[in-house]
Amino acid sequence: MSIREDLHTYLFDQLILRTCLYFAGALGLALLIVWPRASLEAAIRSGATSETFTVVAICFLVLMLLLGARFGAEDFSADPAVHLRDHARLTIVPLPSLVGGRAAFASLHTVLLLLLGAPFLAASLAVGGAGLSHFFCSLVVIGAAGLAARSCGLLFLCVFGTRRSVRQLTLYSALVAVLIVTFFAAPSVSPFHALNELLRHSAGFPGWLLSTLASLAGAAAFLALSVLALAVVRARAKGRDNA
């Protein structure tokens, strides 16, 4: 799909619009659940309910990871695999340009999702003992992780194509496995660990930055592997044509 078609799909497709509403509703529900039951004035004055900000931020992250993987694999599209793989097989468009165009749009759409969820995270600032620096650091961590998940979804789309059930099973299994392994084996790069530890350190603590850089590096690696996977698709198509 072209960027124009992508924009039309994401701005007017009813399923995607409903998904965005569910996304906002889930964040609103998470905020409501952890909202302090005591006097709001007392909570703001004490700033003692730090779990409010942390829980909302982690819920925000989980939703961005889930939506990122699904949008990357184009699971919300009626026939997602045909367009991308056919472009690789039937056109001479350079594969880095093909994947790069998807990555550019993914970045833009990730920012739009961040803007949609930001008001709920901002609402937790006053009662969560967090400041603006924590707010922006959290958005950076969440956005980078969401972009990595989206790039991972794109890779699995390139590899498995129209085999949707296999693609979904392997994608979500791989994503969960990576998140669990990084949380326990390499906590310094885990986005969950970064958000959980953010309020316990000054804004200059490098945990959130290390997690962001790791997520961006992962996204770059997934995009490079996507180019490689499409190169295999194109080479096989040429091989069949020459046979």
Q: What is the pLDDT of residues 199-227, one digit of tens each?
A: 776 544 578 999 999 999 999 999 999 99
pLDDT band at 6 (very low <50, low <70, confident <90, very high): low
The token pair that represents 71 in the structure block:
């949008």
Burial of 32 (C-beta count, 10 Å sphere; 0-12/13-18/19+): exposed
Least confident range from 7-11, 25-29, 44-48, 96-100: namely 44-48
* Structural domains counted in the chain: 1
Residue % of the chain over a pLDDT of 70: 83
Distance of alpha carbon 165 from alpha carbon 172, whole angstroms:
11
**In sequence order, what DSSP letters do the residues of 213-227 get, joined into one string?**
HHHHHHHHHHHHHHH
pLDDT for res 93: 85
Least confident range from 2-11, 86-95, 110-119: namely 2-11
Q: What is the pLDDT of residues 23-33, one digit of tens each?
A: 999 999 998 88
More confident residue, 124 or 155: 155
pLDDT band at 77 (very low <50, low <70, confident <90, very high): low
Q: Which ranges in the chain belong to alpha helices (H)?
A: 3-12, 14-34, 40-46, 50-72, 80-90, 95-123, 125-128, 132-160, 164-185, 191-197, 207-242
More confident residue, 198 or 49: 198
The token pair that represents 64 in the structure block:
């961005």
More confident residue, 20 or 203: 20
pLDDT for res 204: 47
Domain that holds residue 96: 3-242
pLDDT of 147 higher than 50? yes
| Dihedral pair phi/psi, residue 129, rounded to 5° | 65, 25
Average pLDDT estimate for 36-42: 58
Average pLDDT estimate for 74-89: 70
Average pLDDT estimate for 51-64: 93
**What is the SS3 assignment for 177?**
helix
pLDDT for res 203: 46
Q: What is the pLDDT of residues 96-119, one digit of tens each?
A: 998 998 898 889 889 999 999 999
pLDDT band at 92 (very low <50, low <70, confident <90, very high): confident
More confident residue, 90 or 182: 182
Global pTM value: 0.88
Average pLDDT estimate for 81-109: 83
pLDDT for res 34: 83
pLDDT for res 36: 72
